[in-house]
C-alpha cells in the first residue's frame, strides 16, 4: 500500500503546483516543488522520469491533461475543468489527511487528526488501482442491518465517493450499480487477471445531485424544503451549507432562513438533527412532523 499511496500523493502534489496562478511551470521548478512537498510528507525524492510517468497517470486517474509547452520549456494544465479541479481538491484533502494519520509520517508531528480514524482505509489505494485498470474485486461485506452477517461479493468497481468522513465504493453487482461502505469491506482481493468494460456513460454529478450524502433513493421524491435558524446557527450554515442547492432567503440578526431542493432521506434528517438547537422546519409539513416525532420520542426516553 505504501508505494501506491506515495504515487498518489506525488500526483496530487504535481496538480497542486500546476493549477496555481502561474500558467507555466518549468521542469526544474516542478521537480524541486515535488521533492520539497514529498519530503514534508516523509517520502524520498524521485527522478524526473518518474514524474513524467505520473503525468500520464494523472490523465488516466483524474482526467486532467498536463501538456508540455516547447516554447517555454514548461508544463501546464490544458483546458482546466472546474469540476475536475473540485474533485481534485477533495482528493488532495483526503489523501493528505490519510497520510497525516500514519505514525511514521512527518506530517503527524504537526497535524492534529481525529482519534476516530476510519477503519479499513487501507482498501482505498487498491480500490483506486482496480478502478483505474478495470479489474473486478472480491470481498466479504458486513451487513449491519442483518445482524452483522457477512456476504460474499464480486463486483465491478467504478467510483470511490467520500461522504461525511466515510468512503464508499460504487460498483456494479450484476446489472445494478450499488453502493458499498468501504469501512464494511473485509478481505479485499483485486482480481487482476480479469478485466471488464467500464460504463463511461454514468454522470456521477447528476446521480447524486438531488440527494444528501451517498444515498440516492429514486423512490423518494425530490422536494422543496425551507428551514429557519437563529443567526448563530446561520453563521455555521453559511460556511458549511447543508447541500449544494441551499439558497439563503433571509439573513438578519433575528433569523437565518434557507431553501433546499433534494430527496428527504434518513441521512438528511439525521443531519438536520445534528444542528437542531434553533431549527424550525417551515416546509414541507411531513418533514416538520418527522422531526417533531423524533424529539417527542427522545424526550420520553430521557425524561
Assigned C-alpha cell, 168 = 464508499
Is pLDDT above 90 for 144? no
Q: Are residues 139 and 48 in the same domain?
A: no
Structural domain contains residue 175: yes
**Rounded to 5 degrees, what angle do the CA atoms 1, 35, 24 make?**
115
The CATH number that applies at residue 246 is 3.30.70
| 23-27, 32-36, 124-128, 265-269: range with lowest mean pLDDT | 124-128
Closest CA to 212 of 251, 265, 173, 161: 265
Q: Are residues 98 and 131 in the same domain?
A: no
Beta bridge partners of 140: 152, 186
Give pLDDT tens digits for 149-201: 899 999 999 988 877 767 889 999 999 888 898 989 999 999 999 999 999 88
Structural domain contains residue 207: no
Q: Within 10 A of 264 (CB to CB), how many other CB atoms are there? A: 21
Query: What is the pLDDT confidence band of residue 203, given thresholds at 50, 70 and 90?
Result: confident
With contact defined as beta carbons under 8 Å apart, do 18 and 80 qualify?
no
Structural domain total, the chain: 3
With contact defined as beta carbons under 8 Å apart, do 267 and 213 qualify?
yes
* Look-up of cell digits 453559511: 238
The CATH number that applies at residue 95 is 1.10.10
Assigned C-alpha cell, 259 = 431553501
Interatomic CA distance for residues 32 and 179, integer angstroms: 40
CA atoms within 13 A on the CB side of 218: 4
3-class secondary structure, 130? helix
For residue 284, cis peptide bond before it (omega within 30 degrees of 0): yes
Q: Are residues 147 and 53 in the same domain?
A: no
Interatomic CA distance for residues 89 and 82, integer angstroms: 10
With contact defined as beta carbons under 8 Å apart, do 108 and 102 qualify?
yes
Interatomic CA distance for residues 203 and 242, integer angstroms: 22
Assigned C-alpha cell, 117 = 480514524
Q: Please state whether the predicted TM-score (pTM) of the whole model is above 0.85.
A: no
* Look-up of cell digits 481534485: 88
Interatomic CA distance for residues 45 and 107, integer angstroms: 16
Residue 109 has what DSSP assignment?
G
Q: Are residues 190 and 130 in the same domain?
A: yes
The CATH number that applies at residue 157 is 2.30.30
| Domain boundary, last residue among 48, 75, 109 | 109
Give pLDDT tens digits for 108-141: 555 555 555 555 566 877 888 888 889 999 999 9
Structural domain contains residue 141: yes
Interatomic CA distance for residues 141 and 69, integer angstroms: 48
Is pLDDT above 80 for 35? yes
Q: Are residues 11 and 96 in the same domain?
A: yes
Phi-psi region of 300 (alpha: psi -120 to 50; beta: other; left: phi over 0): alpha
Q: Are residues 235 and 137 in the same domain?
A: no
Interatomic CA distance for residues 246 and 249, integer angstroms: 10
Interatomic CA distance for residues 62 and 78, integer angstroms: 13
Query: What is the pLDDT confidence band of residue 15, given thresholds at 50, 70 and 90?
Result: confident
* Structural domain that includes position 93: 2-109
Is pLDDT above 50 for 100? no
Assigned C-alpha cell, 208 = 447524486
| Domain boundary, last residue among 148, 165, 200 | 200
Helix (H) or strand (E) holding 287: helix 285-302
Structural domain contains residue 208: no
Helices (H), 141-219: 204-207
Amino acid at each position: 500500500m505504501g508505494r501506491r499511496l506515495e504515487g498518489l500523493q506525488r500526483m496530487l502534489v504535481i496538480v497542486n503546483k500546476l493549477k496555481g496562478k502561474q500558467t507555466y511551470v518549468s521542469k526544474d521548478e516542478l521537480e524541486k516543488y515535488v521533492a520539497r512537498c514529498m519530503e514534508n510528507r516523509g517520502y524520498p525524492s524521485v527522478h524526473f522520469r518518474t514524474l513524467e510517468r505520473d503525468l500520464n497517470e494523472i490523465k488516466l486517474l483524474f482526467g486532467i491533461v498536463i501538456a508540455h509547452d516547447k516554447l517555454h520549456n514548461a508544463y501546464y494544465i490544458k483546458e482546466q475543468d472546474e469540476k475536475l479541479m473540485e474533485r481534485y481538491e477533495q482528493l488532495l484533502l483526503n489523501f493528505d489527511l490519510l497520510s497525516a494519520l500514519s505514525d511514521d509520517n512527518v506530517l503527524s508531528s504537526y497535524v492534529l487528526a481525529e482519534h476516530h480514524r476510519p477503519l479499513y482505509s487501507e482498501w482505498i489505494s487498491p480500490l483506486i488501482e482496480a478502478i483505474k485498470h478495470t479489474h473486478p474485486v472480491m470481498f466479504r461485506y458486513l451487513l449491519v442491518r442483518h445482524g452483522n452477517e457477512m456476504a460474499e461479493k464480486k463486483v465491478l468497481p467504478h467510483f470511490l465517493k467520500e461522504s461525511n468522513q466515510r468512503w464508499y465504493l460504487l460498483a456494479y453487482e450484476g446489472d445494478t450499480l450499488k453502493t458499498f461502505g468501504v469501512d464494511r469491506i473485509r478481505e479485499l482481493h483485486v482480481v487482476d487477471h480479469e478485466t471488464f468494460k467500464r460504463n463511461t456513460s454514468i454522470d456521477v454529478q447528476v446521480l447524486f445531485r438531488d440527494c444528501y450524502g451517498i444515498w440516492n433513493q429514486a423512490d423518494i421524491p425530490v422536494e422543496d424544503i425551507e428551514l429557519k435558524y437563529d443567526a448563530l446557527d446561520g453563521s455555521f450554515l453559511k460556511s458549511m451549507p447543508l447541500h449544494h442547492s441551499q439558497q439563503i432567503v433571509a439573513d438578519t440578526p433575528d433569523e437565518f432562513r434557507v431553501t433546499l431542493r433534494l430527496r428527504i432521506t434518513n441521512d438528511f434528517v439525521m443531519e438536520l438533527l445534528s444542528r437542531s438547537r434553533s431549527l424550525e422546519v417551515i416546509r414541507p409539513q411531513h418533514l416538520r412532523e418527522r422531526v417533531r416525532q423524533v424529539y417527542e420520542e427522545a424526550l420520553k426516553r430521557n425524561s
